[in-house]
């Protein structure tokens, strides 16, 4: 009996959606998503920024190669770009922040810091400004990928949690929580925080992917003119915030708390830590917490994403470990993953990217 689908993608977040859109119409592809709608987990909870200096040297090529697509996508994909320029100010006390080589950035002294962030406390006396930092319209990017996928014949099944998967002669047979069974030649693991769990379900050796909780808080501030603030962070990584509305900011304590895959929620203590750190940076009156949320950022042991076929189990493809950079790298990562999966022609926009950096085989 031949498989119903060429590719079954487990997970309808940005990773699954962007890869899926690359694989159609040439392949029969089905996205299986456990929740009522795609994007309920990490993809729907991000801080939504593009920051080239973020994620280290192995991530930067994927971020850079995604820039043009995010900024001015092909017209048949979207009429408007997904980026809105904001700039990032990396703050420091008594030292100059380091920005990875090749990332455009300039030194900013105390008077200029005060002009950019009025009310910033005196000990924050040096900074680097990274002009390329932008907001990403994540919801539109994700939904545009899903629409492009649907228009090209792809299918999406929500409320479809995969609970078992086993090898059959022509690929994989998967069983869903509602009892349905489906077959596909290739099984793609784009299950985010559940990626190792999905591997176990399929009898594949897990890679040691670790979900880590990150907290976000939207604060009402007793001053105006905040919307176009740069993204302001401690270059040593204890907070970041950016303007959301005229009198509100999105703030994170930059936490990274190991946890099991789950529907993540913020802890009161982390919200309190975030506010405490914020008040040590600016003298702005915090009026109230408008909302708070948390999401999981899932990392491989070396904090590089994982794209490629499993080294032991043929037809099991990893698309996981996107940590805190899964949105800003999605366009290039999806093209790379699609090439690895189908063996297609190299894409010139992926020029400097070495797929070996992301191979699941690196874990032995």
Ligand X SMILES: Cc1cc2nc3c(=O)[nH]c(=O)nc-3n(C[C@H](O)[C@H](O)[C@H](O)COP(=O)(O)OP(=O)(O)OC[C@H]3O[C@@H](n4cnc5c(N)ncnc54)[C@H](O)[C@@H]3O)c2cc1C
Distance of closest approach, residue 193 Cβ to ligand X, in angstroms: 6
Distance of closest approach, residue 241 Cβ to ligand X, in angstroms: 12
SS3 content of the chain, % helix, strand, coil (to 5): 25, 30, 45
Say how far apart CA 263 and CA 283 lie, in whole Å. 34
Distance of closest approach, residue 357 Cβ to ligand X, in angstroms: 17
Nearer to ligand X, 89 or 190 (CB): 190
Distance of closest approach, residue 189 Cβ to ligand X, in angstroms: 9
Distance of closest approach, residue 197 Cβ to ligand X, in angstroms: 7
* DSSP-derived pairing of the beta strands 181-189 and 5-10: parallel
Say how far apart CA 150 and CA 327 lie, in whole Å. 20
Residues 47, 51, 57, 60, CA torsion sign = positive
Picking from 325, 318, 331, 42, the residue whose alpha carbon sits closest to that of residue 205 is 318
Say how far apart CA 204 and CA 129 lie, in whole Å. 44
Distance of closest approach, residue 174 Cβ to ligand X, in angstroms: 9
Contact 69, 50 (CB under 8 A): no
Distance of closest approach, residue 329 Cβ to ligand X, in angstroms: 7
Nearer to ligand X, 92 or 146 (CB): 146
Nearer to ligand X, 148 or 162 (CB): 162
For residue 25, whether the previous peptide bond is cis, meaning omega lies within 30 degrees of 0, is yes
Nearer to ligand X, 45 or 126 (CB): 45
Packing angle between helix 14-23 and helix 138-151, nearest 10 degrees? 30
Distance of closest approach, residue 297 Cβ to ligand X, in angstroms: 5
Say how far apart CA 216 and CA 266 lie, in whole Å. 8
Nearer to ligand X, 128 or 199 (CB): 199
Nearer to ligand X, 45 or 185 (CB): 45
Nearer to ligand X, 121 or 161 (CB): 161
Residue with the two structure tokens 């859109």: 21
**What is the arrangement of strands in the sheet containing 83-85, beginning at the earlier edge strand?**
49-50, 134-136, 83-85
Contact residues: ligand X, CB under 6 A = 10-16, 32-35, 40-43, 45-49, 161-162, 190-194, 198, 214, 216, 295-297, 322-328
Cβ-Cβ contacts under 8 Å for 309 (sequence gap 6 or more): 315, 316, 317, 318, 340, 341, 360
Nearer to ligand X, 12 or 171 (CB): 12
């Amino acid at each position: 009996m031949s498989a119903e689908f060429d590719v079954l993608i487990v997970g309808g977040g940005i990773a699954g959606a962007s890869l899926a859109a690359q694989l159609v119409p040439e392949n029969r592809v089905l996205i299986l998503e456990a929740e009522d709608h795609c994007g309920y987990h990490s993809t729907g909870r991000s801080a939504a920024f593009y920051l080239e200096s973020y994620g280290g040297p192995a991530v930067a090529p994927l971020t850079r190669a995604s820039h043009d697509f995010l900024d001015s996508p092909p017209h048949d994909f979207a009429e408007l770009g997904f980026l809105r320029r904001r700039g990032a100010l990396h703050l420091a006390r008594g030292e100059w922040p380091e920005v990875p080589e090749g990332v455009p950035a300039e030194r900013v002294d105390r008077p200029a810091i005060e002009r950019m962030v009025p009310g910033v406390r005196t000990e924050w006396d040096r900074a680097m400004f990274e002009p390329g930092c932008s907001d990403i319209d994540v919801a539109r990017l994700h939904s545009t990928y899903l629409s492009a996928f649907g228009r090209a014949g792809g299918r999406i099944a929500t409320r479809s949690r995969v609970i078992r998967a086993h090898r059959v002669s022509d690929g994989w047979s998967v069983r869903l929580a509602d009892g349905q069974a489906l077959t596909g030649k290739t099984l793609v693991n784009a299950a985010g925080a559940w990626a190792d769990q999905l591997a176990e379900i399929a009898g594949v050796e897990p890679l040691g992917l670790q979900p880590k909780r990150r907290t976000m808080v939207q604060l009402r501030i007793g001053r105006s003119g905040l919307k176009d603030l740069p993204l302001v962070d401690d270059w040593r990584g204890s907070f970041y915030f950016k303007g959301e509305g005229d009198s509100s900011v999105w703030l994170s304590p930059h936490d990274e708390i190991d946890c099991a895959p789950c529907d993540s929620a913020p802890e009161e203590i982390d919200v309190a830590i975030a506010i405490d750190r914020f008040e040590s940076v600016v003298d702005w009156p915090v009026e109230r917490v408008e909302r708070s949320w948390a999401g999981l950022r899932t990392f491989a042991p070396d904090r590089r994403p994982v794209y490629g076929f499993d080294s032991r189990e043929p037809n099991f493809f990893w698309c996981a470990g996107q940590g805190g950079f899964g949105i800003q790298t999605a366009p290039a990562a999806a093209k790379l993953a699609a090439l690895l999966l189908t063996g297609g022609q190299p894409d010139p926009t992926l020029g400097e990217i070495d797929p070996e950096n992301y191979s699941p085989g690196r874990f032995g």
